[in-house]
Structure formats: structure tokens, C-alpha cells
Amino acid sequence: MSAVTVTAAEMAPAEARLVPAGRRHGMGIFLVLLAVIMFWAFGVSVDGKVHSTFILTQSPAVNVSPLTMDVRWISIILALVCAGLGALLYTWPRSRGTFAIFTLGTIVFLWSFLTWAARGGTLNFVSLLAGTLIGATPLVYGSLSGILCERSGVINIAIEGQFLAGAFLGAMIGSWTGDLWLGVLCGAGAGAIFGWLLAFLALRYGADQIIIGVVIDAFALGLTNYLLYEVLTPYQSTLNNGITFSAWEIPLVSKIPIVGPVLFDQNFFVYLAAILLVAVNVALFRTRWGLRVRAVGEHPRAAETVGLHVIRARYSNVVIGGALAGIGGAAFTLGSIGEFSTDMSAGLGFVALAAMIFGRWRPYGALGAALLFGFAESLQSVLGVLNVGIPAPFLSMAPYVITIAVVCGLVGRVRPPAADGKPYSRE
């Protein structure tokens, strides 16, 4: 009984982020270096007569006048703010609040960078934010899938394959029947089948979960490519015709300037992702079911001794996680361009895993990471239009560079569930 008591205490919702003093100093110095770049590159070196204009209006919101800023002085002021935040972070005496200060400094830098990038022209700020949310949506589904699996003790590297399966079957069934809801359901089913395959091989035969995930990814990529050329392409107008969900405008709140079009004039997948975020967080950290799942992922032997069925719990979580990833795959097709294309997930299944790690296996933390990656993707498109002089390949690398930084420990030391990836057999 004592072992169970300790495990429950370890799994309390509030998990402290312990940031060593050396890392806090490094983050503070990094913000100061960003401030130097802002001061010279975005401020002093820019002609004092150059201005940037941010468009803040987009249908269906009420009209708001554009925001015009002096590039040089805005960047100099923001550089001073960023330097102040860096100095504050360097001298910050405790772990709590470290990431809040660092995030604020990063936002200040991005504000200065966008002002510099739009110098002498205009930037549609609302479109940038809307693109961020659209880009983050599949990552939310993928990270929730990873969280459910790994909280129960199973590593899900197969999210990429589940994305592809959900995107393919969702597009095909949705196009064939004209029923988008059936397409979403079939996409979820495709992801659930691959989730069951992962659980079956990992839990029944004790195979290495990482290797199984990689194999499933490769299998899904090859299978969907083959079926694309042999089935979808010959019958493009019937089985891959680009059918998508339209945006659902929520009355009144969609009229709010800036945030209205971004949050309340979106398609079904965005709203469902928001609902699932809350539901998964409440289920994992506020219900008896969630306590049992986390017990299975932390200390399966102790969970078994108090009557929990470890294998059954892991099976169900991996299958549910696969279904969520399948819905995320359907979002690539039915929520965006409609048509399935070769390798259309483009490695975002692995980015979703990085978002999960960045968020420390918690839904809201994964949301923040997904928005960061979505912003990098949206910013790439915006900078390409503004022609800022940065080569396109470097812009394309941005989301993946962030992914590498995350998995290399930029967010500090993280602790996965104690039994994550470890085979378990009943005695």
C-alpha cells in the first residue's frame, strides 16, 4: 500500500520545473545577445524614415485601422526591453518564472523581427496568427496521441504513420461518399488500427517499441504511396477530389478584432482539438481513470498489485492515441487541401513527439509547443512573401531546427513516465 501512496504523490498535477542556475544564466545571456541583434540590425542600421504597417483586420471581424510603426525606434525600444529581461533572468534567484521571462523576451524579439521584416511594406498580422493555429492543429492531435500512449508506458513513434493512414483514408472515403464526417471517422479508424498493431507487437511479444514505430512509419508511407498511384490517381475525381470542411463562424465573438477571425472562424478540426485538449487534461489529471493510467505508466508492478490490469490499460490507451493521430491525419486533407499527396505529413509526426517532450507530457504544455512550431511554419510563408532576403531553404528549416533544439534539451531536463518504453509481463 505504501508503494501505491508514493506513486500517487509523485503523479500530482503540479510538476515543478527545476531550472539550474547555469541554465538560467545562459538563457539570460541569450536574451541579451538577441537584444544586441535587435539594436544594431533591426534598429540603428535601418533608415529612420522607414515604417512598417501591420494589418489588423480580416473578415468577419469589425474593421480596425492598420498599425504603422517606426522600424528604427520600435526596434531600439524593444531591444532595451529584451536586454532588461535578459539581465533580470540572469539574476533571477529561483526556478519558478524562468520560462515565463524567457518566453516574454522571445516574443519581444519576434515583434522586433516582424517589424523589421515588414519595413517599407505591410504584414497581415491576423493571417499570420490564423496560419499559426492551422499549422499547430495536427500537431495537437499528434502530441495528445503521444501523451496518452506514453503516460501509460508505451512509446509511440508511429504517429507519422498514423497521420498518413488517417489522411489517406479520410480523403478517400470523404471523396467517395461525399460525407466528411464519415471521412473523419474512417481516418480515426485507420489511426486506431495502426495503434492496435503497435500495441499488439509491443505488448504481446515484447518487441522494441521504437523499432516497431519506425517500421510502422515506413510501412504506412510505402502503402499510402502505392495506393495513391494505383487507386487514387486513376480515379482522382471520385476518390481524391479535394472535399474539405468549410469554416464555422461563431456569431458575435467572431467579430472581435484580431482574435475573432483567428479563434472563432475556423474549421471543425480546430474546434475539436480545443475540446480534446481540455478533455484529455481533465481525464488524465482530474479523474480516477487518469490516476490509473499514470500509475500504469509510472509503476506498473504496484498498479497490478492493487488490481489494475496493466496490459489492458496500455492497449486501450495506445488504440485511443492512434485514433487521435488518425484524426490529425484527416486534418491534413479534409481540414486543409482536401487531396491526399505523397508524404503529405512531411515528418510532422516526429515534430508532434517533440511538442509532447517540450510540453513535458502534459496537454497544455504540448499546446504551447505546437503553437511555437505552427508559428515557425506560418512565419516561413509570410517571410517568403515579404522577400526579406533570407534563402527559402533556411526558412523551410525553421520548424525542424526548433524540433532539434527541443529534443537536445533546450527546455531543460525532462523526466518521462518512469515505465515509459519498458516491457511488462504479468507474474
Q: What percent of the chain has pLDDT over 90?
A: 65
Distances (CA, A) of 21 to 180, 272, 348, 405, 409: 52, 40, 33, 20, 15
Interval 358-383: pLDDT, tens: 888 999 999 988 998 888 888 888 88
Laid out side by side, the sheet with 122-124 consists of 67-70, 51-55, 122-124
Answer yes or no: is pLDDT of 295 > 50: yes
DSSP assigned state of 228 = I
Q: Where are the chain's structural domains?
A: 21-120, 126-407
> CA 154 to CA 156: how far, in whole Å?
6
Distances (CA, A) of 204 to 144, 156, 207, 422, 423: 24, 16, 8, 13, 10
pLDDT, residue 11, reads 43
CATH of the domain spanning 126-407, picked from 1.10.720, 1.10.1760, 1.10.3470, 3.30.750? 1.10.3470
pLDDT, residue 220, reads 96
Interval 82-122: pLDDT, tens: 999 999 999 988 878 888 898 899 899 999 999 998 988 88
> CA 102 to CA 86: how far, in whole Å?
8
β-pair partners for 70: 51
pTM: predicted TM-score of the whole model, two decimal places:
0.90
Which region among 4-8, 143-147, 270-274, 317-321 has the lowest average model confidence (pLDDT)?
A: 4-8
